[in-house]
Amino acid sequence: MLQWKELYQECNECTKCNLGSGRTNMVFGEGNPKAKLLFIGEAPGADEDRTGRPFVGRAGKLFEKGVQALGLTREKDFYIANICKCRPERNRTPDEDEAMACITYLRNQVALIKPKIIVCLGATAMKYIISPDWRITRNRGKWVERNGFYLTCTFHPSAVLRDENKKVSFWEDLKNIKRKYDEV
Ligand code: URA
């Protein structure tokens, strides 16, 4: 297991998959490295690739609005990262081999952060972190306890942007996550 600085360096120089050749910036993740709550998204989009920061585009703004309403901030209360650290062209879903190559870095981050709660934002994170047999629409909001982590998933904020009808469920899930956060 690498420590933060070495891990960052390795990610920044990574050429394990093709996404590395298309990146402007690697998006490592950010937040409180000792937080008990970790959010995991899919992969950087254009704004994230440009800035090197996760969830700063339109979807990120919606996400921030939600967590801020709960009184949670990136700086203090959670860490946020993605399955893939480099942007897939045209924001396509990362391929399995891209996800598998990159997830070792995320696992290293999890081992350093030691969060109590891991929340998957969207189907890609849910598939690789919780189970390929889960479906967001069916399983969102459900908790599983595994290896000392409480795991759950909710809609990806981009999906909420595309479909207003998901807003209420997304907000319910965030409140449910805050309840768990206060409990653990
Ligand atoms: N979507 C994601 O899954 N992650 C980001 O960082 C931005 C958009």
Question: Residue ranges per domain, the chain?
Answer: 4-183
Mean pLDDT of 35-56: 98
Please tell me the distance between residue 75's alpha carbon and the centre of ligand 1 in angstroms.
18
Q: Which of 19, 42, 56 to mutate to test the pocket of ligand 1 (most atoms within 8 A of CB)?
A: 42
Please tell me the distance between residue 52's alpha carbon and the centre of ligand 1 in angstroms.
11
pTM: 0.98
Distances (CA, A) of 176 to 7, 111, 142, 153, 181: 32, 25, 10, 11, 9
CATH topology of domain 4-183: Uracil-DNA Glycosylase, subunit E (3.40.470)
Segment 82-132, tens digit of pLDDT: 999 999 999 999 999 999 999 999 999 999 999 999 999 999 999 999 999
pLDDT for 141 equals 96
Please tell me the distance between residue 78's alpha carbon and the centre of ligand 1 in angstroms.
16
pLDDT for 104 equals 98
Segment 133-182, tens digit of pLDDT: 999 999 999 999 999 999 999 999 999 999 999 999 999 999 999 999 99
Please tell me the distance between residue 179's alpha carbon and the centre of ligand 1 in angstroms.
24
- The separation between CA 40 and the C-alpha centre of its own chain, rounded to angstroms, equals 2
